[in-house]
Amino acid sequence: MKQYDYLIVGAGLYGAVFANLAAEAGKTVLVIDRRDHIGGNVFTQNVDGIHVHKYGAHIFHTNDREVWEYVKRFAEFNNFINSPVANYNGEIYSLPFNMYTFNKMWGVVTPGQAKEKISEQREAAGVAEPKNLEEQAISLVGTDIYEKLIKGYTQKQWGRACADLPAFIIKRLPVRFTYDNNYFDAAYQGIPKGGYTKMIEKMLCGIEVRLCTDFLSEREKYENIAKKTIYTGPIDEYFRYCLGALKYRSVRFETEKLSIPNFQGNAVVNYTDPETPWTRIIEHKWFEFGKDDDGEDIPFTIISRELSTEWTPGREPYYPVNDAENCALYEKYKKLSQAEYEKKGVVFGGRLGQYRYFDMDQVIKAAIEKAKELLKKD
């Protein structure tokens, strides 16, 4: 006899959304997570009144109405708009790449002048059909911006040369010929008031959750506990790396509380030169309090320096390395996962289960779609 309809392995965003929808459909659900907290990498912790994004900056943004309506059931969102700035050896540039960036870089004023500058640089570099991140970047914004704002940052974040990375990574960033520093092209954007953990708590309200519980080290106990399993951990680890290990990038944070009200005047500052060891510094209070505020309400601040490293066992995996070799290996694991579904009813979901550079809204969408598909059948 199975004790539950669904076992959800991982209390991150994918797991929490699926668990919520399954429970709402009247299914019995058990959620387990090997960490000692819910929320996966969107976990926030209240430190002296500031919600610290423990696993890096998470800014919710989406164009999907269904996803937006769904998340709003669990949180009230503030009107935070992400406008990170780039610091290249003390020179400050606006992100994403827009007229403010072009003006600062070249002194150009009109969109026509900016486009002309970019096409001159693209032609001089001889890029016709971009085949990798370096060529894609030069083709989109020219060599000057590539050299100062992309090359160093990307090599630090991914630990690989831009020529060895897929073009799609840089296409995540908008290139705009308007004076607009909004990092995302999204109709809906914000941060849940009270933090992400509170939002996930609401999704999991009334659902049994066991923390510090590792599916992989207690397989015998948990493999047969439910009719179906939603597995959101790393897919290669589930299969005991039988085809080889997939590569992930990991991130380490150096977090400090400073006794000044305002350290950098912005939530996110990217350090785009190759020498500074960190990729960005997050100042957590600015995710919540208005940017026109001088910070005097809270006389201290909390910052996190973000340092990227290759994933090794014992670290948290953050980003799948979606280069050709790892994508090909993932495809082989995906075949195994399809057989695992037929045999044991195990479904793989989320950034780690599907080895995809998902944003939060895409994770939620994928979980909603999967829930619609399975809950209709079961």
DSSP characters for 79-132? Answer: ------EEEETTEEEESSBSHHHHHHHH---SHHHHHHHHHHHHHHHT-SS--S
Residue 42 lies near ligand UDP (rule: CB under 6 A): no
Does 71 bind ligand UDP (CB under 6 A)? Our answer is: no
- Strand 29-32 relative to strand 4-9, pairing: parallel
Would you please indicate which residues are annotated as catalytic (active-site) residues? 172, 176, 249, 280, 306, 357, 359
For position 173 contacting ligand UDP by CB under 6 A, the verdict is: yes
What does the block give as tokens for 237? 């680890």
Rounded distance, CA 107 to CA 129, Å? 28
Residue 170 DSSP symbol: G
243 vs 307 by CB, closer to ligand UDP? 307
Using rule CB under 6 A, residue 44 touches ligand UDP: no
Q: Establish if 364 lies at the interface with ligand UDP (CB under 6 A).
A: no
Identity of the residue, 131 or 372, whose beta carbon is nearer to ligand UDP in the bound complex: 131
Q: Does 13 bind ligand UDP (CB under 6 A)?
A: no
Task: Give min distance, CB of 137 to ligand UDP, in A.
Answer: 7
Please tell me whether residue 252 binds ligand UDP under the rule CB under 6 A. Answer: no
Euclidean distance between CA atoms 292 and 333, whole angstroms? 49
Min CB(239)–ligand UDP separation in Å: 26
Question: What x/- string results for residues 150 through 169 when contact with ligand UDP is judged by CB under 6 A?
Answer: x--xx--x-----------x
CA dist list (Å): 106 to 114, 146, 178: 8, 13, 15
**Smallest gap, in angstroms, from Cβ of residue 172 to ligand UDP?**
4
Residues that bind ligand UDP (CB under 6 A): 86, 95, 149-150, 153-154, 157, 169-170, 172-173, 270, 272
